[in-house]
A and B are shown apart, each in its own frame.
Chain A
Amino acid sequence: GAVVSQHPSRVICKSGTSVKIECRSLDFQATTMFWYRQFPKQSLMLMATSNEGSKATYEQGVEKDKFLINHASLTLSTLTVTSAHPEDSSFYICSARTNTGELFFGEGSRLTVL
């Protein structure tokens, strides 16, 4: 089946630094990718929808300048958490949609900001 890879799976950083998380569709082209944030045992909050070659569409309440999303190719979308703070610590998960509408998820990236 289709595979979506996220990297890194775990990252620990100091407060004030920026962290980049990659989401790759390994065996299909994804014109649309989604980024979610998960709090323990809670919903996956949709942060933004990323379309290849265009600006991401952010959900209400998500800071665009804080969470930079780039979808430069049909197989790669990146999420950069800029000037990370401890409250940004969370699980970030991406998903990618095939051209037939199926959705596949990455394994998530756990960010810990010290």
Chain B
Amino acid sequence: AQKITQTQPGMFVQEKEAVTLDCTYDTSDPSYGLFWYKQPSSGEMIFLIYQGSYDQQNATEGRYSLNFQKARKSANLVISASQLGDSAMYFCAMIRGNFNKFYFGSGTKLNVKP
């Protein structure tokens, strides 16, 4: 069964505008963690932001914020003031239960237009 769903295979955004990348997850575990990674053409997965299931506030890291809606099981990534360097693949991931398994979404390719 699909654990992490990213419904946007590709997106375009104008430079300096904000963009939201969607992610929904499926788990019955009360304890889990949600990650967003950026993958540039180099292949490395760059950690952007983390949200724990018990965290009361939405996580923020600079221009990145995670819109965590627990009841809806969504963890959308919001990038404010997009930059050309933000063009990359973005993966949503979940680690759940006893933190022994990672689940990744299929990714969203973001293109930032000048």
Which residues on A are within 8 Å of B, measured CB to CB? 1, 9-10, 34, 36, 38, 41-46, 49, 91, 93, 95, 102-108, 110
Contact = CB atoms under 8 A, between A and B. Distances in A.
Q: Is the interface of B mostly helix, strand, loop or mixed?
A: strand
Contacts, number: 51
Interface residues of B, number: 21
Nearest to B98: A10
A43 B44 contact: yes
A110 B100 contact: yes
A33 to B, nearest CB: 12
Interface of B: 2, 35, 37, 42-47, 50, 89, 91, 93, 99-104, 106-107
24 contacts: A1-B106, A9-B100, A10-B100, A36-B45, A38-B102, A41-B35, A41-B47, A42-B47, A43-B44, A44-B45, A44-B47, A46-B42, A46-B43, A46-B44, A46-B45, A91-B102, A102-B106, A105-B91, A105-B102, A105-B104, A108-B100, A108-B101, A110-B99, A110-B100
A44 B103 contact: no
